[in-house]
């Protein structure tokens, strides 16, 4: 039986380095996140499905389970 996915990840802004721990949706991508530090709008890097996979300490739950979250 697969482990339950981790549902929180700490996003680090590439512009200012601000860190924010956020709860991740279990079955969807989060394509945008506004940095609370500098108001930069984070978007996934090319090849990543969401901001958690690009800037987080833990990838999104679908990726943790080995599935795609973006279709």
Residue pLDDT tens, the chain, 71 long = 458 889 999 999 999 999 999 999 887 788 999 999 999 999 999 999 899 999 999 999 988 988 876 65
Specify the number of domains making up the chain.
1
The verdict on residue 69 lying in a domain is no
The verdict on residue 40 lying in a domain is yes
| Domain assignment of residue 13, given as a range | 8-64
**In contact, 29 and 35? CB cutoff 8 Å:** no
The confidence score (pLDDT) of residue 29 equals 81
The verdict on residue 1 lying in a domain is no
The confidence score (pLDDT) of residue 45 equals 96
The verdict on residue 19 lying in a domain is yes
The confidence score (pLDDT) of residue 1 equals 44
């Amino acid at each position: 039986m697969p482990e339950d996915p981790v549902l929180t990840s700490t996003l680090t802004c590439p512009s200012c380095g601000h860190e924010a721990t956020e709860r991740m949706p279990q079955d969807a991508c989060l394509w945008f996140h506004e940095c609370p530090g500098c108001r930069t709008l984070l978007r996934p890097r090319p090849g990543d499905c969401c901001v958690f996979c690009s800037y987080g300490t833990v990838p999104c739950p679908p990726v943790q389970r080995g599935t795609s979250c973006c279709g």
